[in-house]
Amino acid sequence: DQQVKQNSPSLSVQEGRISILNCDYTNSMFDYFLWYKKYPAEGPTFLISISSIKDKNEDGRFTVFLNKSAKHLSLHIVPSQPGDSAVYFCAALRAAGNKLTFGGGTRVLVKP
């Protein structure tokens, strides 16, 4: 049972435009939602997170939106830069047990 899903395996966007990555989840018990960025042959790097009691969190070019009623979150990157090209994983955390569950990932390509 896949509790965290990213339905778009890839996304291509022009430099300077907005990248929107989507994520859906099924378990209403998650406490935090996180986005990680991963380059090949490296470990995931934390990008931004949001508590389940909030609906928006912003950090520079990155904004995460949470819609609890729809069990949906999204990551907006604006403006997109070529260095943003990577695989982005949505993840959900249950504080009890410190268990982090990842979605399948979205490969983003930002074209110069």
Partner 1 sequence: DTEVTQTPKHLVMGMTNKKSLKCEQHMGHRAMYWYKQKAKKPPELMFVYSYEKLSINESVPSRFSPECPNSSLLNLHLHALQPEDSALYLCASSQILASNTGELFFGEGSRLTVL
Contacts of 36-39 with CB under 8 Å at 24 or more apart are 36/88, 36/89, 36/91, 36/102, 37/84, 37/86, 37/87, 37/88, 37/89, 38/86, 38/87, 38/88, 38/89, 38/105, 39/86, 39/87
Q: Does 103 bind partner 1 (CB under 8 A)?
A: yes
Question: Nearer Cβ to partner 1, position 30 or 84?
Answer: 30
Q: Does 35 bind partner 1 (CB under 8 A)?
A: no
* The only residue of 41, 69, 70, 112 in contact with partner 1, by rule CB under 8 A: 41
Q: Does 44 bind partner 1 (CB under 8 A)?
A: yes
Q: Does 104 bind partner 1 (CB under 8 A)?
A: yes
Strands 10-14 and 106-111: parallel
* The only residue of 10, 45, 67, 81 in contact with partner 1, by rule CB under 8 A: 45
User: Which residues sit at the interface with partner 1, rule CB under 8 A?
Assistant: 31-32, 34, 36, 41-46, 49, 51, 89, 93, 95, 97-105
